[in-house]
Structure 1
Amino acid sequence: MGRMNSAMVIVVMGVLAIASCAQAQLSLGFYGQSCPNAEKIVLDYVRSRIPKAPSLAAALIRMHFHDCFVRGCDGSVLLNSTKIANASQTEKVSPPNLSIRGFGFIDGIKALIEKECPGVVSCADIVALAARDSVVTIGGPSWSVPTGRRDGTVSNFTEALFNLPPPTFNFANLTVAYASKGLNITDLVLLSGAHTIGVGHCTSFSNRLYNFTGRGDQDPALDSNYAARLKQKCTSLADNVTIVEMDPGSVRTFDLGYYSLLLKRRGLFQSDAALTTNAAAKAFITKLVSSPPEVFFQLFAGAMEKMGRIEVKTGSAGEIRRNCALVN
């Protein structure tokens, strides 16, 4: 798309300024005095349940991403559609979020923390902590989660449509979407690495198999053998039930397999394949694949902490919800 126009630059600079101000107000161990057992409650809950349902790790990290990309990391994705939520339809029921799982999981943690410290720990912080702890529990990387986020009181169906990058985005669209949140190309590549434990519904990519340009054709960027296997699972454009592993064979292992597949033209979503259409992004992916997994873990950790700071509400902004699905 070439250079961003001046208006986009101003928007991005504004977002970065806001984020910079908010970052200073988050801190490690924020609840050390007000609810000292908060983080242990989250960790214990995760450790007792994720081993029995490891696929929830991918669901929770996706929930965290979807929360942060709309109104910042403020728990707005958790709100039910009620008039009290200041919107007739909330993010939760917007098309990009219809396949999100784990709301009951977050509610379970919140209930335990409310018994321990009523009205102290935000739902937004619980989502951020649960995402990290669940990934660690399945053997993935850990990262710092500074806390002190407060919960938003607004959740809007339309904002989710406009802010969440869809699986059909090309590289130019992805970079603009990430830049609007203060994230760069490196962050884009690293955060996409979470797809190593993810799955996708056929409807998210079946156009690549059956109708890429509207002429009943297949995406030429997709490896033909991989496409043939996908067609055996997703037998039509209309299949909205079947799910497919994004990193076949190691969907429960947080590793570099996702990136290796991208270099073989086996990225599931168009937005995955798009990462190899940019020279700098592709070179970075190639370097990751040739490096020890620990390098990816360390870099991914930094990107996750950065994402977790997007437009957070702190201080007196927002509220601490008593019920994550409802404003107070």
Structure 2
Amino acid sequence: MKPSKTTTHPSLIIIMLMLLLCASVNSQLTSDFYVQSCPKVFQIVRQEVKNAIKTEMRMAASLLRLHFHDCFVNGCDASLLLDGNNTEKSSNANLNSARGFEVVDNIKNALERTCSGVVSCADILAIAARDSVILSGGPSWRVLLGRRDGMVSNQTAANSALPSPFETADQILAKFVAVDLNATDVASLSGAHTIGLAKCGTFSHRLFNFSGSGAPDRTMNTELQTNLQGVCPLNGDGDKTTDLDINSVDLFDNHYFSNLVNGKGILQSDQELFSGGDAAALATKILVQQYSDDSKLFFNDFRNSMIRMGNIRPLTGSQGEIRKNCRVLN
């Protein structure tokens, strides 16, 4: 009697291959990647970030934002740092907005003096983001390293992939899901707005004629509304700024979520997480309330979300390159 043959369904094979691919990528990112080739990498980055924040406290938020905006477009590959026409720097979300590039240059130059051609610009962004949070009073986490730098920077991709301050929770969640993140990541990573500033141009539409209603956004606290109308008058300077986290400036804490519960979110996209009426907001509202009540829960979810975000499609092995200058290809 012939032994029976077993067959594996093609879809199962595909799933297994995808799992193996994910495992191989994650296994190549390790916290001790530079332990032999550049053992002082963490010290050097920390010192340069510390110097930058000492000069301008706002820089902590700027460096954190660079890592976020980089990872959402083509993965965490430092493509945001590349100069040139039609690059991510010139996208709607980054033009005249993304900042901190000179600090990244300083970090790269310091590393090149110690271990030339070793540490990628993508890894610099990941470490600098973590250190910016720590130096602002926030949580720490083990940064996984071993990313390599991308060869392409795409303005069009950035325009479509990066969340906008004018979007609903559903729209934002869709962009997170596109990079394998979820509603918890939306809520926790939005908590990065506990530090930093917002330009009038990103929220003034809420102050006078929101969505063509002839009135301000009804979800905004009326006292805050009045104050912001003074800062950002109708037809005023769209580049003028105000603090994202009212009454808790420059401190990385959970106060941002308390603001949302009380209608004091500055950006529409922030307040939507608590006051929005779509399906995604039903999930994020619960998280916002929980984070407002429990800073430890927020810190724990934030650190986990930062690790997940840092694992978005990294280039490893022989992919990409290690740039000598983060602004240009070798």
Calculate the TM-score normalised by the size of structure 2. 0.89
Q: Does structure 2 conserve the Cα–Cα contact (< 8 Å) formed by 1:150 and 1:320? A: yes
Q: 1:183–1:19: structure 2 CA closer, same or farther, 3 Å change rule? A: farther
The answer (yes or no) to whether the contact 1:15–1:182 under 8 Å persists in 2 is no
SS in 2 for 1:200: strand
CA deviation after TM superposition for structure 1 residue 93, in Å: 1.6
What secondary structure sits across from 2:28 in the alignment?
coil
1:13-28 pair list within 5 angstroms: 21-28=24-31
Structure 1: gaps of 5 or more residues: 1-13, 82-87
Say whether 1:233 aligns with 2:231: yes
Change (3 A) 1:96 1:15: farther
Q: How far does residue 273 in structure 1 lie from its aligned partner after superposition?
A: 1.2
Which digits, 9 at most, give the CA deviation of each residue in 1:63-111, with x for residues without a partner?
A: 1100000111100000000xxxxxx411112121021110000000100
Alignment of 1:204-243 (within 5 A): 204-237=202-235, 239-243=237-241
Q: Distance in 2 between matches of 1:105 and 1:247?
A: 24
The structure-2 alpha-carbon separation of the partners of 1:20 and 1:234, relative to structure 1 and needing over 3 Å to count, comes to farther
TM-score by length of structure 1 reads: 0.90
Q: Residue 298 of structure 1 aligns with which residue?
A: 300
Secondary structure of the residue that 1:244 maps to in structure 2? strand
Pick the aligned partner of 1:97 from 94, 108, 113: 94
Tell whether 2:55 aligns with 1:52.
Answer: yes
Instruction: Please tell me whether residue 163 in structure 1 is matched to residue 161 in structure 2.
Output: yes
1:185 and 2:187 are equivalent in the alignment: no
Distance, in Å, in 2 between the alignment partners of 1:280 and 1:214 is 27
The structure, 1 or 2, with the larger RCO (C-alpha pairs under 8 Å, 6+ apart) is 1
- Give deviations 1:279-317, integer Å, cap 9, x for gaps: 3221222122222x2332222111111111111111111
How far the C-alpha of 1:326 sits from its partner, in A, is 0.1
Contact 1:16 1:181 in 2 (8 A): no
2:45 is aligned to 42
SS in 1 for 2:198: strand
Letter in 1 for 2:224: Y
Match of 2:266 in 1: 268
Contact 1:22–1:312 at 8 Å: present in 2 too?
yes
Structure 1 pair 19–192 and aligned structure 2 pair: CA distance change class (3 A): farther
- Counting matched residue pairs gives 308
Q: Which has the larger radius of gyration?
A: 2
Render the CA deviation track for 1:142-167: whole Å, top value 9, x for unaligned.
Answer: 11111000000100111110010100
Rate the CA distance shift 1:313–1:57 in 2: closer, same or farther, 3 A.
Answer: same
Q: In structure 2, what is the equivalent of residue 9 of structure 1?
A: none
Q: What SS does the corresponding residue of 2:93 show, helix, strand or coil? A: helix
1:314 to 316, 320, 324: 316
Moved over 6 A (4+): 14-18
Q: Provide the C-alpha distance between the structure 2 equivalents of 1:327 and 1:199, rounded to a whole number of angstroms.
A: 31
User: Letter of the aligned partner of 2:268 in structure 1?
Assistant: Q
Aligned partners of 1:130, 1:262: CA distance in 2, in Å? 27
Residue type at the aligned position of 2:39: P
Q: Work out the CA distance in 1 between the residues paired with 2:324 and 2:100.
A: 18
CA contact (8 A) 2:184 2:301 kept: no
| Counterpart AA for 2:89 | K
- CA offsets 1:247-292 (integer angstroms, 9 cap, x no match): 112121111111001011111111111111323221222122222x
5+ residue gaps, structure 2: 1-16
Greater CA drift, 20-29 or 297-306: 20-29
What's the CA shift for 1:15?
9.8
Cα deviation, residue 16, structure 1: 8.9
1:29 match: 32
Whether contact under 8 Å (1:206, 1:237) holds in the other structure is: no
Distance 1:240 1:224 in 2: 21
Instruction: Supply the AA of the counterpart residue of 1:90.
Output: T
Q: Distance in 2 between matches of 1:138 and 1:290?
A: 20
Q: What residue in structure 1 maps to residue 106 of structure 2? A: 108
CA distance in 1, matches of 2:30, 2:239: 41
Give the percent of matched residue pairs that are identical in Structure 1 and Structure 2: 44
How much does 1:24 deviate? 2.2
Report how far residue 18 of structure 1 moved.
6.4
Q: Deviations over 1:100-147 (max 9, x none)?
A: 110000000100111111111100000110111122112211111110
Q: Judging changes above 3 Å, is the alpha-carbon distance between structure 1 residues 213 and 49 closer, same or farther for their aligned structure 2 residues?
A: closer
